[in-house]
Structure 1
Amino acid sequence: MTSPTQKAGYKAEDEAESYLISHGLTALERNVHFKTGELDLIMQDRDTLVFVEVRYRKNKRFGSPAETVTRSKQEKLIRSALLYCQKNNITSPWRIDVVAINDNPNSVAREISWIPSAVTA
């Protein structure tokens, strides 16, 4: 059974994927799991493979969604991306982006921020 938190996460991933597609990226895979962590979205941006970490917060009371990508989380993302590339023999350039989504109390629409190359090794 899916929890309300998981449902909110899947909805945020759907929104992030649609947003990135509208900006020219192509969706490849979702929710790829490794012992080191999960890759939320894997997209293609021209010749670059893009691993996307999606972060959602209902409000900014405890900081923005992007601020929740801690150094520990960044290290897990890097390890997972490296494992994905190794497993799939990827030799093309790649990067890790963050898409931060939060509810906007003044609007029905959510605020979406896309941060390309947000995580670097």
Structure 2
Amino acid sequence: MSQMSFDFEAQVVVAEVAPRRERGLRAYLSGCAAEDAALRAYEARGARLLERRWRGTGGEIDLILREPDSYVFCEVKKAVSFDRALERIRQGQVQRIFTAASEYLGHTPEGQLASVRFDLVLVNGIGDLRLMENAFGHF
């Protein structure tokens, strides 16, 4: 009897974990698709990708791009609507992006004197983009 109970409990745990993993995988793949779309929009404007999902000690930056006159640090947010995507940005996250960008610039020839821009790309549920230049201002 205890063996059957154990198996049943294990099946319940597996059944609860599997949908969570599936949701996580879907969210990850959806985020990758949103970043791909954002990257295509930047490349169409002549920007060159330097890093994707760059992680420093201060945090992660979705896309780091080079335009002729500046480095662009881009956060990509996807949700069912542009408003919902915008709601997902928190002040703490913006601060982590600034910290990570500062760390990244420490590895560039211009260092902290580089011209930079912090953009936000919002992606809605049907894949439309809204690119907001200088969404976070300068640090």
Larger Rg computed on CA atoms: 2
Between the aligned partners of 2:120 and 2:130, the Cα distance in structure 1 is 8
Q: Match of 1:88, as an amino acid?
A: T
For structure 1, the residue ranges without an aligned partner over 5 or more in a row are 105-109
Contact kept in structure 1, 2:122 and 2:129, CA below 8 Å: yes
Divergent runs of 4+, >3 A: none
Q: Match of 2:121, as an amino acid?
A: V
Structure holding more helix per residue? 2
For structure 2, the residue ranges without an aligned partner over 5 or more in a row are 1-20
Structure holding more strand per residue? 1
Instruction: Determine what percentage of the aligned residue pairs are the same residue.
Output: 24
Partner of 2:129: 112
Partner of 1:60: 81
Contact kept in structure 2, 1:31 and 1:38, CA below 8 Å: yes
Q: How does 1:63-102 map to 2 (within 5 A)?
A: 63-89=83-109, 90=111, 91-102=113-124
| Larger displacement relative to structure 2 (5-14 or 22-31) | 22-31
Work out which structure has the larger RCO, using CA pairs closer than 8 Å and 6 or more positions apart in sequence. 1
Between the aligned partners of 2:35 and 2:48, the Cα distance in structure 1 is 14
Q: TM-score, normalised by structure 1?
A: 0.84
**Paired residue secondary structure (1:41):** strand
- Figure out how many residues of one structure are paired with residues of the other and give that number: 114
Q: Match of 1:95, as an amino acid?
A: R
Between the aligned partners of 2:125 and 2:59, the Cα distance in structure 1 is 26
Give RMSD over aligned pairs. 2.0
Q: TM-score, normalised by structure 2?
A: 0.74
